[in-house]
Structure 1
Amino acid sequence: MEQLFFTLNKDDEKPLYEQLYLNIKQAIIRRDIVTGTKLPSKRQLGDFLNISQTTVELAYGQLLAEGYIISKPRVGYFVEAIDELPYVEKEMASAEPLIDEPASYRFDFSPGQIDEDGFPFRMWRKYAKDMYDESSKHLLQPGHPQGEYALRVEIARYLYESRGIQCIPEQIVIGSGTEQLLPMILRLFDKTAKIALENPGYSAIPHAHIQSRALPIPVDEDGLIVEELEKSAASLVYITPSHQFPTGAVLSATRRTQLLKWAAKGQRYIIEDDYDSEFRYIGKPIPALQGLDKRDNVIYMSTFSKSIMPSLRVAYFVLPLTLLPKYREIFNYYSATVPRFDQYILANFMRDGHFSKHLNRMRKIYRKKHDKLISVLSKHYPAVKVSGDSAGMHVLLSIPSMKTNRELLSSAQQANLHIQPITRYILTPITYEHPTFILGFGGIPIEEIEEAIHALMAAFHHTNSTL
Structure 2
Amino acid sequence: MNIQNISFEKKKGKYVYLQIYDKIKEDILHGYLKKGDKLPSIRQCEQMWKVSRTSIEKAYIRLIDEGYVYALEHKGFYVDVEKESVAFRKQLMQETLSKKQQNILFDLQTGTIDVELFDKVLWKKYLKEVLQNKELISTYGDAQGEYTLRLALQKYAYSMRGVLCDIKQILIGSSFQSLLYIICGMLPKNSVIAMESNSFIQAKRVFQDFGFTIKYISKTEDGYNMDELYRYDITLLYVHSGAFTSTYKPISKDKEIELLHWAEKTNSYILEDDHNGELRYRSRIQPSMQGMDVGKHVFYIGSFSRILPPAFRISYLVLPLPYLKEYEKRKKSYAPTASKIEQMALAQYIIDGHLEKHVKRLSKQYGKRCREMEDVLKEIFPNTSVWLEEAALCFHLELPKGNSKYIQSRLQEKGVYLNTANHHELMLSFASISQKNMRTALLYLKEIIDEMSCG
TM-score normalised over the length of structure 2: 0.73
Residue of structure 2 in register with 1:167 after alignment:
165
SS in 2 for 1:421: strand
Residue 325 of structure 1 and its aligned partner are, at CA, apart by 1.1
Structure 1 residues 391 and 129, CA, compared in 2 at 3 Å: closer, same or farther?
A: closer
Structure 1 residues 447 and 129: alpha-carbon distance in aligned structure 2, compared to 1, 3 A threshold: farther
Structure with more relative contact order (C-alpha pairs < 8 Å, separation 6 or more): 1
Query: How far apart are residue 420 of structure 1 and its match?
Result: 2.1
SS at match of 1:395: strand
Q: How far, CA to CA, are the matches of 2:246 and 2:336 in structure 1? A: 30
Task: Summarize the Cα distance change of 1:422–1:365 in structure 2 as closer, same or farther, 3 Å threshold.
Answer: same
1:445 positional shift: 3.5
Aligned with residue 180 of structure 2, among 179, 182, 190:
182
The alpha-carbon distance between structure 1 residues 390 and 118, as it changes in their structure 2 partners (threshold 3 A), is: closer
Q: Secondary structure at the match of 1:439?
A: strand
> How far, CA to CA, are the matches of 1:188 and 1:121 in structure 2?
38
Change (3 A) 1:403 1:356: closer
Change (3 A) 1:184 1:437: same
Residue in 2 that maps onto 1:203: 201
Residues 194 and 236 of structure 2 are in contact (CA less than 8 Å); yes or no, is this contact kept in structure 1?
yes
Instruction: Please tell me whether residue 242 in structure 1 is matched to residue 231 in structure 2.
Output: no
CA contact (8 A) 1:350 1:356 kept: yes
After superposition, the C-alpha distances for 1:133-171 in whole angstroms (9 at most, x for unaligned) are 1x3333221111111011111111011111111112211
2:242 partner amino acid: S
Structure 1 unmatched ranges of 5 or more:
1-12, 14-99, 424-431
User: In structure 1, how many angstroms separate the alpha carbons of the residues matched to 2:447 and 2:109?
Assistant: 18
* Alpha-carbon distance in 1 for matches of 2:333, 2:240: 30
Q: CA deviation at 1:109?
A: 2.1
The answer to whether structure 1 residue 315 and structure 2 residue 304 are counterparts is no
Q: How far apart are residue 332 of structure 1 and its match?
A: 1.9
| Paired letter, 1:450 | R
What aligned pairs does 1:116-135 form with structure 2 within 5 A after superposition?
Answer: 116-133=115-132, 135=133
What RMSD, in angstroms, separates the aligned Cα atoms of the two structures? 2.5
CA–CA distance in structure 1, aligned partners of residues 382 and 314 of structure 2: 39
Give the letter for the 2:415 counterpart: N
Distance in 1 separating the partners of 2:315 and 2:298: 17
Cα deviation for residue 211 of structure 1 reads 6.2
Mapped contact 2:304–2:315 kept (Cα < 8 A): yes
The CA deviation at 1:246 is: 8.8
Is 1:345 equivalent to 2:316 in the alignment?
A: no
The answer to which of 367-376 and 281-290 deviates more is: 281-290
Equivalent AA in structure 2 for residue 171 of structure 1: Q
Q: Which amino acid aligns with 1:348?
A: Q
Cα deviations across residues 325-374 of structure 1 (Å, max 9, x unaligned)?
10121232212111111111111111111111111111111101101010
CA separation of 1:200/1:246 partners in 2, compared to 1, >3 Å: closer, same or farther? farther
In the other structure, the counterpart of 1:230 is 230
Q: Specify whether residues 445 and 148 from structure 1 end up closer, same or farther in structure 2 by C-alpha distance, changes over 3 A only.
A: farther
* Aligned partner letter, 1:415: K
Q: Percent identity?
A: 29
What one-letter code is carried by the residue in structure 1 that aligns with 2:397? Answer: L
Higher helix content, 1 or 2: 2
Look up the match of 1:358: 358
Per-residue deviation at 1:390?
5.2
1:16-415 superposed matches below 5 A = 103=102, 105-133=104-132, 135-207=133-205, 208-210=208-210, 213-244=213-244, 247-294=247-294, 296-389=296-389, 392-400=392-400, 402=401, 404-415=403-414
Distance 1:181 1:227, change over 3 A: same
What amino acid is the match of 2:138?
Answer: L
Q: Could you say which structure has the larger radius of gyration? A: 2
Question: What letter corresponds to residue 148 of structure 1 in structure 2?
Answer: E
Gaps of 5+ in 2: 1-28, 30-98
Compared CA separation, residues 334 and 294, structure 1 to 2 (3 A): closer
Q: Give the 3-state SS of the residue equivalent to 1:282 in structure 2.
A: coil
Q: Which amino acid aligns with 2:434?
A: P
